A and B are shown apart, each in its own frame.
Chain A
Amino acid sequence: MHPVQLTAGSVAIGGRPVLRGIDLTVETGEFVALMGANGSGKTTLVRALTGLLPLASGELRLFGTPFAEYDAWSRIGFVPQRPGASSGVPTSVWEVVASGRLTRRRLLRPLSRADRAAIDHALEVVGLPDRRHERVTSLSGGQQQRVLIARALAGEPDLFVLDEPTAGVDLPSQQALADALGRLKAAGATVVLVAHELGPLAPLVDRAVVMRDGRITYDGPPLADHEVHDPSYGDPHTHHHHTDGAPTARHDHAPHLDLPVDRR
C-alpha cells in the first residue's frame, strides 16, 4: 500500500494541458524531492497529489484508496508555500500550529490533552516552543516556514507534502528546516517536497524526480543541484525567479470582469 500512487496522471489548467503522462509511486518512508526549472510543473504536481487541482485523466490513489473515496485526511500533512503577510488579523504561532490539529478534532469539542501535547511536540520539533505566543508575522521567513511545518506535524500525519519549503529562506534557517525534516524522516515519515535547489536538504533526499515542461524526465537516485539544471533535463539554467505556475498573459488595464461561471 503506497502512500502516493499516480498512474498516467494529467492536469489541465483552464483547458490547457499542463502535466501529461505522470507516473509516480512513493514508497512508505521515502524522502522524495521533486525538482526542475521554474514552470516545469512541480508545484502543479503536488497540488494534484493533494487534490487541490483535479486530474484531467489518470488515477490517483492515496494509501491505496482511490482519491474520490479518500477521507483519511489526518494521514496527510500539507505545507503550502509560505503565504506572505496574508492574514488580516493578528495570529499567534500557537494558533496556526493548533489549526493543524483540526484533522483529528471533531466539531464543537474543546482541545483534548492529546491535542495540546501534539501541538507542543510539533513546536519543539521545529525549535520554536518559546515563540508560541508571538505574532506569526513578527517571525522571519524561515521561522514562518517552520511554523507551517509544525502545523502539518500537529496532525501527526504519515505523509508530508511540502511545496518549496526553502524558497526565499536564508541559509541558517534552511539548516534549521533541514534539521526539522531530518527528525521527521528519522521518525519514519514519508516526505514529498518540491525544491528548486536542495541546499542543506540534500543529505536527506532518497530519490529525486526531475520535471521538465510538465513531464517527468528523471526519476532515480538524488542529483546534485547543478545536474538538475543540466540542459538535457530542463531549460538552460534560468536563474531563480520564483514565478511558478501558468503564464499570466492577461495584464490589460481595463478592469477585468468575470462571470460567476468563469473558472480561474
Chain B
Amino acid sequence: MSTIGFWELLSLDFMQRALLAAVFTGLAAPAVGTYLVQRRLSLMGDGIGHVAVTGVALGLITGTSPTWTAVVVATLGAIAIELIRSRGHTNGDVALALMFYGGLAGGVLLTGLGNQSTSLLQTYLFGSITTISPTDVWVTIALAAVVIAVCVGLSPQLFAVSHDPEFAQVAGLRVTAYNLAIAVLAAVSVTVAMRTVGLLLVSALMVVPVATSQQLTRSFRTTLVAAMLLGIAASVGGLLLAAYASFSANVAPGPTIVLLSLAGFAAAWPLGVWLRSRQRLRAPFAPIVPEGHDMADHDVAHGHVHGEDCGHLAVEHGDHVDYVHDGHRHAPHGEHYDEH
C-alpha cells in the first residue's frame, strides 16, 4: 500500500512541473509535425532526435545544460538535413540515414568517454518527465511557446510553402527560408519533447496525432488544430495514466504517452477508412446521360420502390439521383426505372 493517494500525488511539485511540460510539449510537437507530414518528411523528427543525442552527450561531458547543447546540435543537424534534402536528389534519404546513426553513435561514444553513466543518457533517450527541474520547465514552456506562435502565426505562408513550393516561389515567398524555419522549429520541438517522451520517441508525438486527426478531417486548418488537441490529450493523459499506474507497477510516462497516442490512432483509423469509402461511394456520377433508353426490369423482379431510406445507396447523377444496387444504377423515369 502506498502512503499517498493519486490526487495527493498530483499536488506534488514535481508532478505539477511534469503536467506543465506535458501540456506545452503536447501542443508544440504536433504543430510542427503537421508541416512535416504535409511535406512527407514524417521521419525527419526522428532523424533530428538521433542527432540531438550527440548534443545531450556534449552537455553531459562538458557540464553545461544538456537542453541547450541539444538545441544547438539539433538545430545544426536539422539545417544540414534540410540542405541535403533540398539540394540533393530524391535518394537523399540515404545521406540522412548516415547522419541519424552518426548522431546516435556519437552520443553514446561521447557519454562513455566522459565517464558518464549510460543510465543518465537513457533519461534523455526515453524521457523522464517527472525528474524535470524548475528551470527546465521554464525553458520548455518558453521554447514551446515560440514554436506554437510561429507555427500558427505563419501558417498561411508555411502551408503554401509545404503544399506547393514552386507556386510559393513564383508568388514571391522565400521558400528556402521558410523550409529552414520549419527545420529549426522541428529541432526546437524535438528538444522540447526530449524530457517528456525522450529523443527516440519524439517523432511519435510529432506524427501520430497528425495521422490520427487526418483520418477525420477535410482541411489543413482543422487537421492542425485537432492534432494539437490530440497531442495534449495524449501527453497529459499518458502522464496521468502512468502516475495512476505507478502505485502498482513501474510505468514510464514517455512510452505511456506514445502508446496512448497510438491507441488514439488505432481507434480513429477504422472510422477514417469507413468515412473515405462512404465518400467514394457517394461521389456524384459524371453528368453524362446515357444514349438510348434502357429500361430496368428490376421493379418487377423485386417489387421494390426506390426512395429516401429505401436502403439503397443514392448517388447524384446530373439533375437526378441514381440508386445503386447489385452493380446497377437505376434512375427513376415515370413509372419505371432506367439503367444508367
The reply to whether B166 and A52 contact each other, CB–CB distance below 8 Å, is yes
Q: Contacting chain B: which of A1-9, A75-83, A227-235?
A: A75-83
Chain B, range 32-54, C-beta contacts under 8 Å to A: 34, 37-40, 42
Rounded to whole Å, the gap between the CB of A134 and the closest CB of chain B is 7
| Closest chain A residue to B159, Cβ basis | A99
The reply to whether B154 and A88 contact each other, CB–CB distance below 8 Å, is no
Interface flags for A245-263 (1: CB within 8 Å of B; 0: not) read 0000000000111111111
Rounded to whole Å, the gap between the CB of A254 and the closest CB of chain B is 10
Q: How far is A258 from B96 in the complex, measured between Cα atoms in Å?
A: 11
The reply to whether B217 and A87 contact each other, CB–CB distance below 8 Å, is no
Rounded to whole Å, the gap between the CB of A223 and the closest CB of chain B is 28
Chain B, range 265-319, C-beta contacts under 8 Å to A: 279, 283, 286, 288
Q: Choose one: B34, B164, B221, B286; the contact of A83 (CB below 8 Å).
A: B164
Q: Which A residues touch B279, using CB under 8 A?
A: 138
The reply to whether B89 and A108 contact each other, CB–CB distance below 8 Å, is no
A31 at the binding interface (Cβ < 8 Å): no
B325 at the binding interface (Cβ < 8 Å): no
The reply to whether A256 and B171 contact each other, CB–CB distance below 8 Å, is no
Q: Choose one: B83, B91, B171, B220; the contact of A255 (CB below 8 Å).
A: B91
A262-B153 contact in complex given A83-B164, A89-B223, C-beta closer than 8 Å: no
Q: How far is A260 from B171 in the complex, measured between Cα atoms in Å?
A: 27
Q: Choose one: B34, B80, B156, B167; the contact of A78 (CB below 8 Å).
A: B167
A264-B88 contact in complex given A78-B170, A80-B166, A99-B163, C-beta closer than 8 Å: yes
The reply to whether B218 and A134 contact each other, CB–CB distance below 8 Å, is yes
Chain B, range 146-175, C-beta contacts under 8 Å to A: 153-154, 156-157, 159-160, 163-164, 166-173
Using a Cβ–Cβ cut-off of 8 Å, how many residues does chain B contribute to the interface with A? 44
The reply to whether B171 and A257 contact each other, CB–CB distance below 8 Å, is no
| Closest chain A residue to B153, Cβ basis | A108
Q: Which B residues touch A263, using CB under 8 A?
A: 87
B94 at the binding interface (Cβ < 8 Å): yes
A51 at the binding interface (Cβ < 8 Å): yes
B228 at the binding interface (Cβ < 8 Å): no
Rounded to whole Å, the gap between the CB of B226 and the closest CB of chain A is 11
Q: How far is A45 from B326 in the complex, measured between Cα atoms in Å?
A: 52
Rounded to whole Å, the gap between the CB of A236 and the closest CB of chain B is 32
Rounded to whole Å, the gap between the CB of A148 and the closest CB of chain B is 8
A87-B38 contact in complex given A51-B169, A260-B84, C-beta closer than 8 Å: yes
Q: How far is A254 from B159 in the complex, measured between Cα atoms in Å?
A: 35
Using a Cβ–Cβ cut-off of 8 Å, how many residues does chain A contribute to the interface with B? 47
Q: Choose one: B38, B94, B172; the contact of A103 (CB below 8 Å).
A: B172
The reply to whether A258 and B95 contact each other, CB–CB distance below 8 Å, is yes
Q: Name the residue in B91, B167, B214, B223 with the highest tally of chain A Cβ atoms < 10 Å from its Cβ.
A: B167
A92 at the binding interface (Cβ < 8 Å): yes
The reply to whether A89 and B34 contact each other, CB–CB distance below 8 Å, is yes
A95-B219 contact in complex given A88-B37, A155-B171, C-beta closer than 8 Å: yes
A28 at the binding interface (Cβ < 8 Å): no
Q: Choose one: A74, A78, A94, A257; the contact of B166 (CB below 8 Å).
A: A78
Q: How far is A109 from B12 in the complex, measured between Cα atoms in Å?
A: 42
Interface flags for A47-66 (1: CB within 8 Å of B; 0: not) read 00011100000000000000
Q: Choose one: A52, A90, A255, A264; the contact of B87 (CB below 8 Å).
A: A264
Q: Which A residues touch B38, using CB under 8 A?
A: 87-89
The reply to whether B171 and A73 contact each other, CB–CB distance below 8 Å, is yes
Q: Which B residues touch A74, using CB under 8 A?
A: 172
Q: How far is A10 from B62 in the complex, measured between Cα atoms in Å?
A: 55
B186 at the binding interface (Cβ < 8 Å): no
B210 at the binding interface (Cβ < 8 Å): yes
Rounded to whole Å, the gap between the CB of A245 and the closest CB of chain B is 14
| Closest chain A residue to B80, Cβ basis | A260
| Closest chain B residue to A109, Cβ basis | B156
B92 at the binding interface (Cβ < 8 Å): yes
Q: Which A residues touch B210, using CB under 8 A?
A: 89
The reply to whether A133 and B218 contact each other, CB–CB distance below 8 Å, is yes
Q: How far is A95 from B173 in the complex, measured between Cα atoms in Å?
A: 17
A260-B219 contact in complex given A52-B166, A88-B37, A88-B40, C-beta closer than 8 Å: no
Ordered by A's residue number, 12 sampled pairs between the chains whose C-beta atoms are within 8 Å are A52-B170, A87-B163, A89-B223, A90-B223, A91-B163, A102-B173, A161-B170, A255-B91, A256-B89, A258-B88, A260-B88, A261-B87
**19 further interface pairs, Cβ-Cβ under 8 Å (given A78-B167, A103-B172):** A50-B170, A71-B172, A88-B40, A89-B37, A90-B219, A99-B167, A100-B167, A100-B171, A102-B160, A102-B171, A102-B173, A133-B219, A135-B218, A138-B279, A255-B91, A255-B94, A258-B89, A260-B80, A260-B88
The 5 closest A-B pairs by CB, nearest first: A73-B172, A92-B219, A258-B88, A78-B170, A256-B91
